Amino acid sequence: MVSAAKPASPFLRRLIGRILFWIIALLFIWWLVAFVLQRKFLFPRYTAVQNPQAMKIVWNLEQVWIDTPQGKVEAWFMPAPGRSKDQPGPAIIFAHGNAELIDDQPSNMEPYRRMGISVLLCEFRGYGRSAGSPSQAAITEDFKQFHDWLIARPEVDPKQLIYHGRSLGGGAVFALAAIHPPAAMILESSFESAAARFAAFGIPRFITRDPFDSIAVIRKLDCPILLFHGTKDNIIPHKDSAILAAAAKNAKLISFDCGHNDLPTDSNVYWNHIESFLKAGGFMP
């Protein structure tokens, strides 16, 4: 005969119960802390330093303000030389990374103007001189306004809008693309989704306040997409861009031997790729 297993002792049952209780309690505390503090990690806006001189040293830069329920939000418009109502051309909507400002971007984006492409540098709520608090919903609403402002410009061809996002800015332009699909996209160090990034730290999707689900958007886009990513990126893994590129209908991934904040390692190579991409798409002669 096979003897029946002895039931666990009362002491062992209490011990297992206590261990399970503390596991669940600690997990709940971690999730609660993550829910409350996640936007401080996703939007570390207080670490970004304003540069009052940036707007003054850029040729023909126009300061733009939109109204939101939380106050005014800023953008800078850099029109391309020679563009007018009679000769409109393509334009870039640019979204920066989560610890940057539009102040940091004009000189970086100047090569676009030399290609005959105008640039709109869009700020996030709560960043720099802009009012309010950042969130996916707020950024998406503001970028819709920026989009509408830009396509109303006489020197801009609304059929030739290109979205360019870096890091968190990739999530911002994907959120806009879900509403207003662009003619093309350029992405740097972008993520599959913010929810997937948080999941790596044990934060479930259902408590992610700003999921920025880029992978869901890219599957629906028909436009050409160019992605850049560093193979040594330890903030947003290179595999995220590989996943995005594989999910897209028309995408190309360019890899650099670098991390997150030192991309590109070679500016000339970077801009040559962009120029070739835009020429192939018919955005420049």
Map out the domains of the chain with their CATH numbers.
14-280 (3.40.50.1820)
Percent of the chain with pLDDT over 90: 76
- Length in residues, the chain: 285
Using the 8-state DSSP alphabet, how is residue 284 labeled? -
- Report yes or no on whether pTM surpasses 0.85: yes
Average pLDDT of span 73-96:
96
- Structure confidence at residue 193 (pLDDT): 94
pLDDT-based confidence at residue 7 (cuts at 50, 70, 90): low
Q: Are 102 and 124 in contact (CB under 8 A)?
A: no
Strand partners, 255: 229
- CA distance readout (Å), 226 to 87, 184, 249: 26, 8, 12
- The region of weakest confidence among 17-21, 29-33, 267-271 is 29-33
Burial 192-220 (b: 16+ CB within 10 A, else e): bbbbbbbeeeebeeeebbbbbbbbebbee
- Structure confidence at residue 13 (pLDDT): 75
Q: Looking at per-residue confidence, does 55 or 189 come out higher?
A: 189
Round to whole Å and give the CA distance between 17 and 128.
Answer: 51
Closest CA to 125 of 44, 49, 70: 70
- Structure confidence at residue 57 (pLDDT): 81
Closest CA to 121 of 191, 198, 158, 173: 173
- The region of weakest confidence among 62-71, 85-94, 139-148, 193-202 is 193-202
Place of tokens 């409109």: 88
Average pLDDT of span 113-128:
97
- Structure confidence at residue 159 (pLDDT): 97
Round to whole Å and give the CA distance between 180 and 151.
Answer: 11
Average pLDDT of span 90-116:
96
Task: Summarize pLDDT for 230-261 with one digit per residue, the tens.
Answer: 999 999 999 999 999 999 999 999 999 999 99
Residue 90 has pLDDT above 60, yes or no: yes
Task: Summarize pLDDT for 273-285 with one digit per residue, the tens.
Answer: 999 999 999 998 7
Backbone angle region of 128, left / alpha / beta, with phi > 0 → left and psi within -120 to 50 → alpha: left
Residue 4 has pLDDT above 80, yes or no: no
Residue 3 has pLDDT above 70, yes or no: no
pLDDT-based confidence at residue 156 (cuts at 50, 70, 90): very high
Query: What is the SS3 assignment for 147?
Result: helix
Residue 2 has pLDDT above 60, yes or no: no
Round to whole Å and give the CA distance between 260 and 28.
Answer: 32
Round to whole Å and give the CA distance between 209 and 171.
Answer: 14
- Structure confidence at residue 43 (pLDDT): 94
Round to whole Å and give the CA distance between 268 and 279.
Answer: 16
- Structure confidence at residue 234 (pLDDT): 94
pLDDT-based confidence at residue 10 (cuts at 50, 70, 90): confident
Round to whole Å and give the CA distance between 72 and 85.
Answer: 28
Phi, psi of 82 (to 5 degrees): 85, -5
